Amino acid sequence: MPRFPIDRAVWSLAVAALLTAVGPTSRAQGPFTGGAGMAGLSPPSFAPNGVWARVITATPKWLVLEDAEGRQYPVSFSAIDLFVIRWPANPALAPPGTMAEVTGFDLNNGSILAGHVDLYEGSARSLVSPTSLVLVGYNRVMVPTNPYQMSTFGQFTLLPGEELIPQRRHLVGPLVSGAPLVIAGPGNQAAQVVPGAGGMSVTQVTIGSPSFVRPGDMVWCLPLAAGPQTLALRRLVVYKTIPMAQFVP
């Protein structure tokens, strides 16, 4: 019998045994394999109502946020749609022309029971406009043509889930007085804001600037999308612990 066919048969058996020991190549896991995408990692998911986080690093162009689970995200200031800062404020010291915003229970006596008020001065007044909205039930705006919100036609009532929920009002207008706190709304109406059982906080809202952000600041953000380099945000609110007048850039 010739020698070459025997050698070929031996080599074929050896290769077959080697492939059997290694296993199918389709089971091999590399850095770009897996059903979840590149490197087998899925993009982070966020709560639809926003995320609380803390600033770890802040530069003129970037900041790094860390959420409650310890996950850290780089954020470019150019990838933020709306960036504002909240400072503790005293309404009695607010200058003329200040706009105020409040959402609370309408007491139907010219007063609104609320736990928080926002003040807007200077260029920050462009963030708001005079508004007076009645909020019914599940934060819905009262309109006279919706039979499920108002008994306009005399035979419809509110839904059972919202019928007994107190009526609330969202009011934005010039600050008439800081003590007592009175807001003038549209249509020649005004309302006095009274604190609830838990008290009332007042903050001054300013347009955000990277020079005001410091490591350790608490933030609330509304993520838009997670890209390969930055986390894009629809909203970013930085909370300060001192009034703006006491801040040293």
Average pLDDT over residues 184-208: 94
- Tokens encoding 246: 């006491």
pLDDT band per the 50, 70, 90 thresholds, residue 72: very high
CATH 2.40.280.10 fits 46-86+207-246, yes or no: no
Mean predicted lDDT score pLDDT of the chain: 83
The residue-averaged pLDDT of 206-222 equals 97
* pLDDT score of 208 more than 60: yes
Q: Where are the domains of the chain?
A: 46-86+207-246, 87-205
Instruction: Check pLDDT > 70 for residue 189.
Output: yes
Q: What is the pLDDT of residues 16-58, one digit of tens each?
A: 655 555 444 444 443 333 444 444 556 677 888 899 999 999 9
- As a dihedral over the C-alpha atoms of residue 76, residue 86, residue 207, residue 216, rounded to 10 degrees, the angle is -30
Those residues with Cβ within 8 angstroms of residue 107's Cβ, 6 or more apart along the chain or in another chain: 113, 194
